[in-house]
Amino acid sequence: MQNSPTLELAMDLLRRPSVTPADEGCQDLMCERLAAIGFEIHRLKFGEVENFWAIRGDSGPIFAFAGHTDVVPTGPEANWQQPPFEPVIKDGMLLGRGAADMKGSLAAMVTACEDFVAAHPDHNGRIAFLITADEEGPAIDGTVKVVDWLEQQGEKITWCLVGEPSSTAHCGDTIKNGRRGSLGCELSVKGIQGHVAYPHLARNPIHQLAPALAEMAAEHWDEGNDFFPATSFQVSNINGGTGATNVIPGHVEVVFNFRFSTELTEQDLRRRSEAILDKHGLEYEINWKLSGQPFLTSEGPLVEAAVAAIKTEAGIDTELSTAGGTSDGRFIAPTGAQVVELGPVNATIHKVDECVSAADLDTLHKIYVAVLKNLLS
């Protein structure tokens, strides 16, 4: 049986080993297809990162598909059933690095637009694509830079659908209508190095830090709310010592992270954390890094259009969720856009033998067409 246009395009994209920040021609392929149906293409390279903004239509609200062509490394290719950049459909599953995250979604977006434009050449509003090759990496020269460029052009996205793999068990069963904020910290606590037999002549920074970390781990940061779980605190790295058993270390370095709700701000977390560190009398240096503010699209035309499209095309009632990590939606939402993430099942993302149901990609194509119809026809 012949593959659908969506599956054929997905396989063409999967054959390109676009490990961050490489694109390997994925965006060329997408731009060629979009230009053929009347999109105006803007290629936007920042640093070494390829990005593009494509738009169709002259006026009215902008509905934008957003996503990334880059993928994470494969790990040892010998561990894969099939070479990760030689996609195959096996037992109804499309295998290949990026199948779920997120070249399958990109293919469905393009073919959805092809079908929608063929049926509605004079559609209301405008359709756009915001595509980067820097989502899985530093995320410095990708979506955030394109958003800045759009601001300079005076363009505002009204509705944005990010094709991240949001589904849990069935395509469309979950929409991400928000994400928690992510605040990281690198903390260095200074002590005085010395011999373990003479602790009175030294100051052990690990001993000093441990009670402070315990207090931070036990701290009740907030209650969360109807859309977000309570803020979480996790230590991810701790390093100290010379490697010798008889030396008290002179410093210890810790890395920790907050995933936080809309109940708190970055400033709240920094202030409360530093108050705990100060209370324990630590001599420290601290470097905070905000990866993204929390955002929420609780209601409105975009959520309604997506929920209705899933019901029509997949026959299920979707769940709204803010769980999981961050996405590039964190750069788009602050501009005032309504943002949701809607894509295939995420069970195998970043894993060996990443795969997605071939039938699900065709369903996703239909859902995307229905979203366009609900908003722009």
**pTM higher than 0.85:** yes
Specify the length of the chain in residues.
Answer: 377
Give the helix/strand (H/E) hosting 202.
none
Distance from first CA to last CA of the chain, Å, rounded? 33
Q: Is 148 a residue of the active site? A: no
CB 13 within 8 A of CB 103: yes
Catalytic residue among 101, 114, 135, 313: 135
Tens-digit pLDDT profile for the chain (377 aa)? 789 999 999 999 999 999 999 999 999 999 999 999 999 999 999 999 999 999 999 999 999 999 999 999 999 999 999 999 999 999 999 999 999 999 999 999 999 999 999 999 999 999 999 999 999 988 899 999 999 999 999 999 999 999 999 999 999 999 999 999 999 999 999 999 999 999 999 999 999 999 999 999 999 999 999 889 999 999 999 999 999 999 999 999 999 999 999 899 999 999 999 999 999 999 999 999 998 889 899 889 999 999 999 999 999 999 999 987 778 999 999 999 999 999 999 999 999 999 999 999 999 999 999 999 999 99
Q: Is 135 a residue of the active site? A: yes
Catalytic residue among 24, 50, 70, 328: 70
* Tokens coding 114: 């092809």
Give the residue from 248, 266, 250 showing the smallest Cα distance to 258.
Answer: 266
